[in-house]
Each structure stands twice: as C-alpha cells, then as structure tokens.
Amino acid sequence: MIKLQIRIGDITDFNGDAIVNAANHSLLGGGGVDGAIHHAAGPALNNACMKLNGCKTGEAKLTDGYNLPANYIIHTVGPIWHATKTDAIQLANCYRNALRIAVNHGFKTIAFPSISTGAYGYPLDQAAPIAVKTILQFPSDIAVSMVCFDERTADAYQRALQNYESGF
C-alpha cells in the first residue's frame, strides 16, 4: 500500500530514489519546477534529455539525477488545461506512468510536484484529487511525497487526501 506524504518544500532537495519533473515536450528545460530541476541537476541532464527525443503528454521517461540528492529523475509531460475529459486522463497518466517506472526500477521513494498546475493552467482544485486518487490506487508499497511549492498548493493536496480517505 502506498504511503502518501504532503509537504511544502523544494523538490530539488528531495533525498530519495527519484523525483518527478513536470517537463515540457522537448525535455530540455523550461520554467517553474522544470527549470529548477535542470538548473540543480547541472548540464549533464540536458545532454541526457537530448538523447530521449522528447516525451508525449501523459508519458514518462527516466534519467539519472546528476547533481541532485535524488538518484533519478522521472520526466513527465502534463496536459495543458483545455477543460476536456482528455485533460484528466492525461494528468492521471502522468502520475501512473511515473509510478510504473519507479516500481519497475525497484525504487522505494519518489517525490512529485503538482503537475500541470503552473504554466499549463490546470486548476489546482481539480488536479489535486486526480493526483491523490491515482497515486493511492496504484498497486505498490512505494513511499510517495507530494512536494508542494507553497501553502496554497499543499492545502489543496491535503484537502484532496482527506476527501479521498473519507470517501468523497
């Protein structure tokens, strides 16, 4: 059974098996958490990402963690918010496919950011329940940290977790 912890912090400080990068299609860095991860990991990450030939929305790819405390980075591309059912499916796939990679590589700890809720415009109150449900329904015993950039984001994930646990 998955253990989910929600906390405020900087995902680049996570010391565990893997962190998840909310990447863009090129995987070559960008703004927000993507830019912070590329900056903290160092230039070798960009070189590794060039060899991956990008990533489609909802899919995930793995690289080493380079200069990060985490051993690996799982890159996933979240959906740009269009208010369609496809958005929710793609967002759930981001979490599911990242967890699949983690389990397939024997990882015991993984940290996620809030995928698609920044520049991609996914409403936090809709993204958080999708993330929580997808993570908690994944068949594994991996320890998951949801590392939120600020209190507002952490509160949304905490509410989603409480609603999930109480059956709402």
Contact 124, 90 (CB under 8 A): no
Residue 163: exposure state from Cβ atoms within 10 A (0-12, 13-18, ≥19): middle
CA distance 82 to 67: 35
Q: The tokens 């900056």 sit on which residue?
A: 39
CB atoms within 10 A of CB 104: 9
CA distance 107 to 113: 17
CA distance 68 to 89: 30
CB atoms within 10 A of CB 108: 13
Phi, psi of 61 (to 5 degrees): -140, 155
Which entry of 10, 17, 34, 155 is annotated as an active-site residue?
34
13 included as an active-site residue: no
- Catalytic residue numbers read 34
